[in-house]
Structure 1
Amino acid sequence: MTSARKDPSALISEDDREEAVRRLREAYAQEHVSHEEMDARLDQLLAARTHDELAAALDGLPGEVPDTPPTIAAAGGRIKRRGAWRVPRTLKVASAYGKVRLDLSRAVIEHPVVDIELRLGTGGATITVPRDAIVDVEDLSTGWKDLRYKPPGRSRPGGVRIRFSGVMGFGRLRIRHAWR
Structure 2
Amino acid sequence: MTSLPEDPLSLIREDDRDAAVRRLQDAYAEGHLSHEEMDERLGRALTARTHGELVSALASLPAENAGTTSTIAVAGGRIRRRGAWRVPRFLKVESAFGKVHLDLSRAVFDHAEVDIELQLGTGRAKITVPRDATVDIEDLRTGWKDSLHRVPRGHRPGVPRIRISGTMGFGRLKIRHARR
Same fold by TM-score greater than 0.5: yes
| Corresponding position of 1:97 | 97
Amino acid at match of 2:119: R
Amino acid at match of 1:146: D
CA shift, 1:125, in A, is 0.3
Distance 1:112 1:157 in 2: 10
CA shift, 1:131, in A, is 0.5
Higher fraction of strand: 2
Distance 1:94 1:69 in 2: 14
Distance 1:81 1:128 in 2: 10
Amino acid at match of 1:178: A
Q: Secondary structure at the match of 1:169?
A: strand
CA shift, 1:153, in A, is 1.9
Distance 2:160 2:65 in 1: 23
| Corresponding position of 1:53 | none
| Corresponding position of 2:136 | 136
CA shift, 1:69, in A, is 2.9
| Corresponding position of 2:25 | none
CA shift, 1:157, in A, is 1.6
Distance 1:66 1:128 in 2: 26
Unmatched runs of 5 consecutive residues or more in structure 2: 1-31, 33-63
CA RMSD in angstroms, aligned pairs only = 2.0
Displacement over 6 Å in runs of 4+: 65-68
TM-score (normalizing by structure 2): 0.62
Q: Secondary structure at the match of 1:75?
A: strand
Aligned ranges 1:1-180 → 2 under 5 Å: 69-180=69-180
In the TM superposition, what whole-angstrom CA distance separates every residue of 1:135-173 from its partner, at most 9, and x where no partner exists? 011111111011000111221221100001100110110
Q: Secondary structure at the match of 1:77?
A: strand
Distance 1:66 1:106 in 2: 23
Aligned residues: 117
**Identical positions, percent:** 69
Distance 1:99 1:76 in 2: 8
CA shift, 1:115, in A, is 0.3
Distance 2:178 2:146 in 1: 21
Distance 2:166 2:91 in 1: 11
Distance 2:168 2:160 in 1: 23
Unmatched runs of 5 consecutive residues or more in structure 1: 1-29, 31-64
CA shift, 1:66, in A, is 9.1
Distance 1:144 1:165 in 2: 16
In the TM superposition, what whole-angstrom CA distance separates every residue of 1:35-89 from its partner, at most 9, and x where no partner exists? xxxxxxxxxxxxxxxxxxxxxxxxxxxxxx9998311011100000000111000
TM-score (normalizing by structure 1): 0.62
